[in-house]
Every structure is written in structure tokens, then in C-alpha cells.
A and B are shown apart, each in its own frame.
Chain A
Amino acid sequence: MSATSTPSAPTFVAKTKGGRITNFVDERVGGSGILREFGRKVFPDHWSFMFGEVALYSFVILLLSGTFLTFFFDPSMAETHYQGSYTPLKNVEMSVAYSSSLDISFDVRGGLFMRQVHHWSALLFVASVSVHMLRVFFTGAFRKPREMNWVVGGVLLILSMAAGFTGYSLPDDLLSGNGLRIIDGVIKSIPVVGTYISFFLFGGEFPGTVIIGRLYMLHILLVPALILLMIVLHLFMVVVHKHTQYPGPGRNDGNVVGYPLGPVYAAKAGGFFFIVFGVVALMAGFFTINPIWNYGPYDPSPVSAGTQPDWYIGFVDGALRLMPGTIGNWSVEQVWFGQVFTFNVLLPALVPAGIIFTVLFTYPWIERWITKDNREHHVLDRPRNAPTRTAIGMAGFVWYCVMWAAAGSDLIATHFHVSLNDVTYWLRALFFVGPVIAFIVTKRVALALQRKDREIALHGRETGRIVRLPHGEFIEVHAPLDEYKRYKLVGFESPSPLPAEPNAHGVVDKKEKRRALFSMWFFEDRVAPATPAELAAAHGHHGEHEAIESGESQKTLSH
């Protein structure tokens, strides 16, 4: 290459002014390359893939509406007397924070609407994050290479709860103050250091005069910044890993079948933002959320009936409600070494949440250890095709829901005209029994659905048409499935238990034996997908059902 040769390629000159400007920018930032790359990214079409988008969009709505609210909110706990236009609170002594929240609601144009947009989208944000996580779990999308993105998602869930809780506490009304009081109680129940942490957090004795300002800083600065950072990481990994897809003809772990981002998907996704915004705006316009004027200013003495946290903290509140203060004659609160150990607060507040998040964060590695599956997975599992995982997920889900329901125990009692005590007793029982029942029932249902799939793949769909044969026998005509539909029913893996294997030294160690036991528990009940041979056999001798069904494996599958 000689340095003297000048580039002789014909330079592109756009015809219009707009084109020339675009070209100027493109030559400097390489926009068209980025667009070409991203525009060609393929997204599989399925409604359940859109919850992450809902979460992202509600976060954008939160940023927009939240910014509006910061223009008018004053996080000061200084005392003032309300002089705004809501007469039932006229001249009532309150904090500046509460007074300015009331002003946003009644005296700032569009303020109440924006407050309600902000709060509704916050509830929707955490809800869509949760549903998105449930989808990822039940379809096995957390498997290699997406384990780390699953963890980032879990961090996002915790951050979204933190964002919600810090925001919930800001108006300094009676409801939010009661919520803070519970948090204060939980902190104080931590042995030895609890009181110190509480005094540090509240700047003295509860409620003090600094907590609202501190929570405000966390709410508008630190937590959203962390959420943004995590979203960037999350989406970066989505781009690197590409999107997962449901099983189907022509889909495998080496491709992605769907629509490219540009133009169809970009239009759909862009339009979907406005749909989500529209739904939130309609909710905010027509339905009250957090009517702070009902609750009055915070005062540590009154507690209103029906005091609950927002839904995402509900399970912790429910666990607190379920915890008995004494078991028989044994008090759960103990005095050891002159220290009070308030286990009736500490255990329910920290243990269930701790278990849920520990299992949530470690689950991809737990399953990887049991299955020794080190392959990349881009094709999702239908939940029924991973019966034990689905059953574990449902057990956890039911456990969460029992605690969730317990947070509304008083409303269950009044609205269904039952005794509050009975609601509590039942939920206490379900707290222990519910997950077990859910596990068993889910696993059986999943296996039954698999068996149904197998049946349909082998014998086709029942048409309901009864035909009498010349020799007098009646048969129901089964219509064979087309190949595409059949693929969905047979195209999945059904691993069998992996027995213990010796390690490099030729020894089967204890850990490996434990793993083999788990593997047995995970995979012993299985319905194998119909093999091509079985399909051929089924089409060959139509009607000889018994011979074909012996292809199902071992234990449970006798009809």
C-alpha cells in the first residue's frame, strides 16, 4: 500500500439538504452501522416476552412523572399549618412534606393526576418486573448463558421494591408513617445493633426530623441511578445473548426465529410504550390511588384500620401478621443475657424474604449442579416439560401468595364475613402446607399435560366422529396432526436421572451422591416425548394403543 494513493472511491453526495445533514452526522458517529446492526436484531413474537418492555416503559413513565413531582415536593419535616384548599385539613398541624404533597394534590394544576400517574406506574413497574421474572423462571430462560442476567433481574426486583418503599414513605401521611414505624420496629428487632441502626437511620428517636429528606435523596437519586445502571447491564446482556424463543419447527439453540427490530418491531415496541402510558393515564385519571388526604398527617399515636404497605411489600407485612407472639406457653420474645430478642418480629420480617431471595438468586446454579447441564439454551422449555422446576416455582409462588394474602387478612375477614382469627389460622396452616400441596399438584398436572401431548402426538386429535365398522365395532376417528403442530408436542428434551459419577480420582464422593439423589428427585417422574419410531408405529398399527404406550418410562406412567 503506497501512502500516496488518494482515495478515489466516488463520494456519496445526498440530493436533499436533510440527506446531507444526515450523511454528515452518519459519517461522524456511524449511525447507519448501529441502525443496521440493531435493525436486524430479531425478536421472537410472543405476548409473554413483552413484560420486560412493560417494566421498562413504566420506568420511563416513573422518571417523567417523578421529575414533575420534584418541582413541587418539599421533603422537609418542619412543622407547619396547612393552608391549602382541602378544608377537612385546614389549619391542621403537619409537616411541610405532607403539606406540599397535599398542595400537589389540590393546588398544583395537574398535580393530583401526575401523583396518581406516578403511583400507578410504580405499582405496575414492580408488577411487570415480577411477572417478567415468573415468565423467565417457568420457561427456563435463566439457563446458560443467561444466569448472570437473571441475577441482574433479581437485583432490579429488589431495587424496584426499594424505590417503591422509599417513595411510599415520602408524603409523611399517617399511612406512610405507620409503614415507616413497622420498618423501624423490624430494624430495632435486630439483636444488639438494631437500636443503633435505627438511631443512625432516623437521626435519633423515631420519627425524628430527618428521615423524609434522607429517603427523598435515596428515592430520587441513588435508587433510580442504580436501577438505570442495572437496566443498561440487563439490556446489554439481552443484546449479547440474543432473545430466547419458544420451541417450534425450525427453531433451535443456534438461531432466533422472529421479526427484525426494524421496521415492524420498532413500530410495535414504540407504539406499545404509548399503550402502556395510555393505560396508566386512564387508571390515574379515573381511579384514586393513595388518597393521602384521607389519612391525615403522621402522628405516632393513631394507627388506621386497613393499614397496609403497597402490594410488593405486602408479603413481609403478611408474614408479620401470621407470626404468633407465643407458641403454647413459650414466648417467642426472649430475654437472654439482659438483651431482649424480639424473634416474633425478627423472624417473620427477615426469614421468608431471605429464603425467597436466596433461592431466587441461586436457583440457576442449583439446577445446573443437579443436571450437570453445561450447554447453552436459547430454546425455552414449555413449563409442563420441566415438571419439577415448574412445581418448585409454583411452591414458591404459593408460599409468597399465602403471605401476600395474610397482609389483607382484615379485609378478607370483613368482605367475606369470616372471623379474622380463622383467616389467620388457615393462612398459618397454608404457610407450611400450601407449598407442599402446590408442588405435588403442579407436578402431577404437568405430567398429565405431557401425557396428553404424547397421546395427541401419537394418535392425533379426537374428532368426536364415531364410525361403525363393517363387523360392528365402533371406533372414534382421530385426525392426525400436521407436522408443525406435532413438532411442538414432541420437540423437547426429557432428561432421565443422572446417576452419581466418579470424579477424577475415580471416587464417588458424598457431594456427588447427594447430587445424584437430587437428580433422581428431579427427573424420576418423566414422560418421554414420542420418538420417530413410536410415531411410525402409531401410524402403522392404528388402534393398538397398548403396544405404543409401553414406550413411556418406568414409574408413574401406568394408565
Chain B
Amino acid sequence: MKALSQKRRHPLAAIALLLMGLLVTGGLYAVATTVNQAKATTTFSANDAEEGGKLFESNCATCHGMGASGTQDGPSLVGVGAAAVDFQVGTGRMPMQMNGPQAPKKPVQFNDEQTHQLAAYVASLGPGPSIPEANVLDGQGDAAKGGELFRVNCAMCHNAAAAGGALTRGKFAPALSGVSSKHIYEAMVTGPQNMPVFNDANLSPEGKRDIITFLKQIEANGSPGGADLGSLGPVSEGLFVWIAGLGVIIAFTIWLTSRTS
């Protein structure tokens, strides 16, 4: 103790302390963030990565740069992980058709094997979220709990009925019906476009599984009350009553007051 208290006025003490602090926070951060990569299971062969690299050079490098190091037109993909590639390419968002506020979903440009190879290549560049396993995508979680998580974390952009919603400057949160469980999960862990990342530290894999269960259940349930009018709430209901409801009634009033001549 005495030795330590003597050295506390040493000229290098401040630097040593700073170094220690940095090491501790950095170390803790590294431990915390690896929670996401706890289960890298999808296996990629060296060949996959090599083929993926070729595909990447001919299709993606224009914007993302050689070696996926990023250019002014596209971000670096080092460390985004296989999940990001599987989501962006698997839903047709990448390759991007044109620059805009947001890359919309469109017909898929690569087949499953090519997507797999691209994912392998990007995964080989640095560690990142991997493609989720089947056990979190089975839709056998707790739908009620998933619903609560969805309303608290997702509904403010995606709408409580997952019908989508607007963001600023032409960006939007898409509707979630018809999106595969795998892509929903990947979106949560990678935060594509304007979506925040929900890593495993703030939304556990079980929670994500519950959310997927909830989404799949409301999609399968359909609308108990009849046609859902887009699940858009009072705006579409108001539009409907003014145009269809009142329209039909006006047609009847015209019929009732027309003279039989």
C-alpha cells in the first residue's frame, strides 16, 4: 500500500491510470458487444468467400469500394456481418437501384447460393452478426410477450399492427407482413437503412423470437372484424365512411327523391 501511495505522484501515474481506464472500458465493451456474435454457426467454406469476393467486385465494389472498405457512395462493410448481407441482398434492397432516401424492397437480384457466397465474403472481412439459427425463428415463442415488446420497441415506426409508417424526408418503416422470420431477425440485429440496432444486450434472442412469433401470429390470424382497410387506423376508416358509406347513402337519396316519370 505504502509503495503504491508513494508512486501516486510519479509523473507517469496519470498516464498509467488513463491507460488502465481505457483498457478496462475497452475490455468491458468488447465483452458486451460480443454478446451478438455468440453463435456464429452458419458455416462458410473458403471457396464461398472467394466466390463471394468475385461477385462483390463485379456487383458491389462500385459503391462499397474494393475490399468493401467504403467510398463516398457507400459505407464500408467491414464488420457488418453475414446477417446484414443476407438481409440486404436477400430482400432485394441491395444492389441498390438508385440513390434515394432509402433502398426499397425489390425483386431479388441474386440466387440463394450467390447471396450465401456474398455473405461469406463480407463475414470474412471482420466479425459481425451472423445469420440466425432456426431455433429463434420457429415462431414458437410467447406471442403476448412479443406483442408487448413490439409495441414498446417497434410500433412507433412500424405501426402497432405492423402496417408500416413514415419517417422524415422520404424515409419510411416498411410494413412487416410477408417478411420472412429470418429477415425480421436479421433486421433487428443489423439495423438496416434507418432502423436502429437491437442487439442481444438490449433485446434478448428470446425476445426477438417472441416478436417474430407475435408478427407471424397476427399475420396468420388475419383481421377478425372483416376487411382491415390496410390496418392504417382512423384515417382509412374516415376515408371509407366518407367515400363508400356516404357515397352509397347519397346514391340511395337520389333514388328515393327521383320522380317516376
Note all chain A residues with C-beta closer than 8 A to B224: 105-106, 112, 288, 291, 293
Counted as pairs of residues, one from A and one from B, with CB atoms less than 8 Å apart, the total is 199
Q: Does B245 contact A120, Cβ atoms closer than 8 Å?
A: yes
Q: Using a CB-CB cutoff of 8 Å, which residues 141-160 of chain B contact chain A?
A: 143-144, 147-148, 151-152, 155-160
A279-B245 CB under 8 A given contacts A87-B217, A294-B161, A299-B151:
yes
Report the separation of the CA atoms of residues A228 and B173 in the bound assembly, to the nearest whole angstrom. 45
Q: Using a CB-CB cutoff of 8 Å, which residues 458-480 of chain A contact chain B?
A: none
* Complex partner residue of A417 from B157, B170, B241, B245, CB under 8 angstroms: B170
Chain A proximity mask over B198-222: 1 for CB below 8 Å, otherwise 0: 0000000000000000100110010
Q: Does B144 contact A92, Cβ atoms closer than 8 Å?
A: yes
Q: Does B160 contact A296, Cβ atoms closer than 8 Å?
A: yes
Report the separation of the CA atoms of residues A50 and B253 in the bound assembly, to the nearest whole angstrom. 7
Report the separation of the CA atoms of residues A304 and B163 in the bound assembly, to the nearest whole angstrom. 10
Min CB–CB distance B215 → chain A (angstroms): 10
Chain B proximity mask over A73-99: 1 for CB below 8 Å, otherwise 0: 000000000000001111110000000
Min CB–CB distance A132 → chain B (angstroms): 11
Report the separation of the CA atoms of residues A269 and B148 in the bound assembly, to the nearest whole angstrom. 49
Could you say which interface size class chain A belongs to? 35 or more
Is A295 positioned at the interface, with any CB of B under 8 Å from its CB?
yes
A92-B147 CB under 8 A given contacts A302-B155, A411-B232:
yes
Is A276 positioned at the interface, with any CB of B under 8 Å from its CB?
yes
A301-B172 CB under 8 A given contacts A92-B147, A276-B249, A295-B160:
no
Note all chain A residues with C-beta closer than 8 A to B254: 47
Report the separation of the CA atoms of residues A294 and B233 in the bound assembly, to the nearest whole angstrom. 10
* Complex partner residue of B237 from A174, A276, A289, CB under 8 angstroms: A289
Report the separation of the CA atoms of residues A411 and B235 in the bound assembly, to the nearest whole angstrom. 8
Report the separation of the CA atoms of residues A127 and B163 in the bound assembly, to the nearest whole angstrom. 26
Q: Does A311 contact B241, Cβ atoms closer than 8 Å?
A: yes
Note all chain A residues with C-beta closer than 8 A to B143: 87-88, 90
Report the separation of the CA atoms of residues A484 and B174 in the bound assembly, to the nearest whole angstrom. 59
Report the separation of the CA atoms of residues A255 and B237 in the bound assembly, to the nearest whole angstrom. 42
Q: Using a CB-CB cutoff of 8 Å, which residues 392-429 of chain A contact chain B?
A: 407-411, 413-414, 417-422
Is A148 positioned at the interface, with any CB of B under 8 Å from its CB?
no
Q: Does A275 contact B249, Cβ atoms closer than 8 Å?
A: yes
Min CB–CB distance A275 → chain B (angstroms): 5
Residue pairs across A and B with Cβ atoms less than 8 A apart, 30 shown, are: A45-B259, A47-B257, A51-B253, A54-B253, A87-B144, A88-B217, A112-B225, A127-B241, A128-B249, A131-B246, A174-B151, A272-B252, A272-B253, A279-B249, A283-B240, A286-B226, A286-B227, A288-B224, A288-B225, A288-B226, A288-B227, A294-B218, A296-B147, A302-B152, A311-B242, A314-B234, A411-B166, A414-B172, A419-B169, A420-B169
Top 6 nearest A-B pairs by Cβ distance?
A: A305-B165, A311-B238, A288-B225, A304-B160, A410-B166, A419-B170
